[in-house]
Each structure stands twice: as C-alpha cells, then as structure tokens.
Structure 1
C-alpha cells in the first residue's frame, strides 16, 4: 500500500515539475506511466487497458 502511495506521489511530483518547466513555452507535456510490477499495484490492469485495446477489440 505504501508503494502505491509513493508511486502516485512521485508521478504527481514529476507532472508538476514538467508543467512548471514548460509553462513559459506553452508546449504540450506528455507523461507516460510505466507499471513495473503489476501484482503489487492494483491499478496496473486499468493503466494497461488505457494504453492498449483489450484482446477482444480490433482496431
């Protein structure tokens, strides 16, 4: 549970840092989250389903 908390805290910290650096240039900031160990992070499957379509769907 603590790892999940630190994962989100780090992600928010990086997101805020990127926005502060790019705010003067008005550039789009693309943040990619990598789930290292899906078994320990409950949202792993949800994050992956946002990136890749499910096996039943075809593009």
Structure 2
C-alpha cells in the first residue's frame, strides 16, 4: 500500500468520533477515564490515565 492509497483510505472513513471524559475515584485516587462511543457488536475502548484497555 502506498502512502497516497493509505491517505485516501483514511479520508474515506470520515472524522473519528469524540471520546467522552469521566473522572473516576477509587481508593482515594482520581483517574482520568476516556471512552469511545458505543458501537453495536464491538467492545468500547477505554483509556485510563494514558493506558489503553
């Protein structure tokens, strides 16, 4: 795949959806949690303090 093919493919997908932000408190610590929007049949992505789950 050439660079131009890859760029054309990425542009055909449209903009990426916004992530939702939450702050979760556990055992006295605050965690920044970012979550992808729900998609039927797929597991959502979670990013907690910079680590992807």
What is the TM-score of this pair, normalised by structure 1?
0.23
Which structure has the highest strand share of the two? 2
What is the TM-score of this pair, normalised by structure 2?
0.25
Which structure has the highest helix share of the two? 1
